[in-house]
Amino acid sequence: MLEGKKIILGVCGSIAAYKSASLIRLLIKAGAQVQVILTPDAANFITPLTLSTLSKKPALVAYFEPETGQWNNHVELALWADLILIAPATANTLSKMANGLCDNLLTAIYLSAKCPVYFAPAMDLDMWKHQSTQANVEKLKSYGNVFIAPGYGELASGLVGEGRMAEPEDIFNFVLSEVKKKLPLANKNALVTAGPTYEAIDPVRFLGNHSSGKMGFALADELAKLGANVTLIAGPSLQQNKNRLVHRIDVTSAAEMLDACNVYFETANVCIMSAAVADYTPVTVASQKIKKQEDKFTIELKKTTDILKTLGEKKRDNQILVGFALETNDEEKNSIEKLKKKNLDFIVLNSLNDIGAGFKADTNKITIIDRNLNKTSFELKTKEAVATDICLKILDLLNK
Ligand code: CTP
């Protein structure tokens, strides 16, 4: 969710400045670009070198760096940022921000910014309780800045009370949830299936297929980036979750996948079934390894439950259900039949006749056909880009 987000982290002169190091690590790990701006006093508490190393960018303190001749343009920096986070925010900086003072690089950036600003105060108990500090916080909130409340506990002075900066993990999670709230799929639950299923023959053998799960994992990632709460039900796959917010449930067989889907479908707003589910499973599973005997060997198979069709039968009008069709011939005709039979909002067709489409590849070439039989064909793209196209169609339907 913070992937590629440009964040200015303002660090003020408080002992809590040491916590900024952990905060930077969390932001960088989440994929954000972090530009640290220290107030001159902050540089006495934590070195710019430490923060530059962690943020992978030179931490800036002054408008002008005489040693290098570098001019740090506050307007450019303010416009670069998608978000400004001031943590720790001292009583002094809060007061300047509330009253429009800009006597250092950080306050000048704040005053020039158009993006959301978050501030996490840190100061001693009595400074925090002071009427002027409280008034400044209220003023900043009334300007639309987002307040991250300080915690209660032992302070650097030895006093115990409110005023210590919120913990880096809490600040990080707060920012994450605020960013998420503004995303188009905020408060929506998404259910995705991915990968193959394995149908056991005996304790060492199974019937499976070549699905890698790449498409489903890319979809789960994209839905999470758009703010959805994603449950990914994955058959056996070597893929790794790209997004730590995706709730992954590992299953093996079609029956296990069906059970998991039934649990999560009730609360799902969007369901994309991209798994290559086995259509047949052995009637019996041998409890011991089957020994070779005859020249010919037959396994009796029975049909699995069609998960997508089952969900289509109980789908409510406010749920979006999407299926996949992997075809080798009569592609459109077969897809439209599946779309209707399984009561889908749209179907994603990929043909094995297209080079670069289908199992294992990093790319896919799809055609989307919706229930009004509108048809959109796309170029060959990475599976991540295909996931974006599919999600755009979902956003389109949700906005209708
Ligand atoms: N699907 C499913 N449960 C199954 C079989 C398929 O949920 N037991 C889903 C797949 O995840 C996919 C869609 O149904 O979204 C299409 O699957 P596919 O196997 O291509 O279609 P079938 O209806 O099984 O038809 P056929 O195998 O005859 O092509």
Report the pLDDT value the prediction gives residue 3, as an integer from 0 to 100. 85
Residue with CA at minimum distance from ligand 1 atom 24: 279
Return the best residue to mutate from 307, 352, 366, 390 for the ligand 1 pocket (most ligand atoms within 8 A of CB).
307
Q: What is the radius of gyration, based on Cα positions, of the chain?
A: 27
Structure tokens at 190: 């998404």
Report the pLDDT value the prediction gives residue 113, as an integer from 0 to 100. 96
Report the pLDDT value the prediction gives residue 368, as an integer from 0 to 100. 97
What gap in Å lies between CA 357 and CA 350, rounded to an integer?
7
Q: Where are the domains of the chain?
A: 6-181, 189-398
Catalytic residue among 72, 92, 99, 209: 209
pLDDT (tens digit per residue) in 13-29: 999 999 999 999 999 99
Report the pLDDT value the prediction gives residue 293, as an integer from 0 to 100. 85
For residue 376, pLDDT over 90 is answered with yes
Bond preceding residue 88 cis, omega within 30 of 0: yes
pLDDT-derived band of residue 111, with 50, 70 and 90 as boundaries?
very high
CA 398 to centroid of ligand 1, rounded, Å: 25
For 6-181, CATH number out of 3.30.930.10, 3.40.50.1950, 3.40.50.150, 1.10.730.10 equals 3.40.50.1950
Report the pLDDT value the prediction gives residue 366, as an integer from 0 to 100. 95
pLDDT (tens digit per residue) in 268-283: 999 999 999 999 999 9
- Across 233-239, average pLDDT: 96
- Across 337-361, average pLDDT: 88
Report the pLDDT value the prediction gives residue 171, as an integer from 0 to 100. 98
- Which single residue is written with the structure tokens 């996931």? 387
Q: Specify the pTM.
A: 0.79
- The CATH code of domain 189-398 reads 3.40.50.10300
Closest ligand 1 atom, CA of 279? 8
What gap in Å lies between CA 256 and CA 281, rounded to an integer?
12
User: Fold identical between 6-181 and 189-398?
Assistant: yes
Pick from 314, 219, 195: nearest CA to 265? 314
For residue 1, pLDDT over 80 is answered with no
> From the centroid of its chain, how far is CA 397?
21
Report the pLDDT value the prediction gives residue 263, as an integer from 0 to 100. 97
Q: Is 66 exposed, middle or buried (0-12, 13-18, 19+ CB in 10 A)?
A: exposed
Report the pLDDT value the prediction gives residue 11, as an integer from 0 to 100. 98
pLDDT (tens digit per residue) in 283-316: 999 999 999 988 899 999 999 999 999 999 999 9
Report the pLDDT value the prediction gives residue 242, as an integer from 0 to 100. 80
Return the best residue to mutate from 262, 331, 338 for the ligand 1 pocket (most ligand atoms within 8 A of CB).
338
Phi, psi of 242 (to 5 degrees): -85, -25
Does residue 174 line the site of ligand 1, with CB under 6 A? Answer: no
Report the pLDDT value the prediction gives residue 159, as an integer from 0 to 100. 85
What gap in Å lies between CA 13 and CA 139, rounded to an integer?
21
For residue 150, pLDDT over 80 is answered with yes
Report the pLDDT value the prediction gives residue 357, as an integer from 0 to 100. 74
Dihedral sign for Cα atoms in the order 256, 258, 260, 263: negative
284: number of Cβ within 10 Å: 10
Work out the mean pLDDT of the chain and round it to a whole number. Answer: 95
- Across 352-374, average pLDDT: 87
Does residue 307 line the site of ligand 1, with CB under 6 A? Answer: yes
- Asked whether 80 and 6 are in contact (CB, 8 A), the reply is yes
Structure tokens at 136: 């400044």
pLDDT-derived band of residue 6, with 50, 70 and 90 as boundaries?
very high
- Which single residue is written with the structure tokens 């009796």? 300
Report the pLDDT value the prediction gives residue 65, as an integer from 0 to 100. 84
- Asked whether 273 and 306 are in contact (CB, 8 A), the reply is no
209 is catalytic: yes
pLDDT-derived band of residue 244, with 50, 70 and 90 as boundaries?
confident
- Asked whether 166 and 149 are in contact (CB, 8 A), the reply is yes
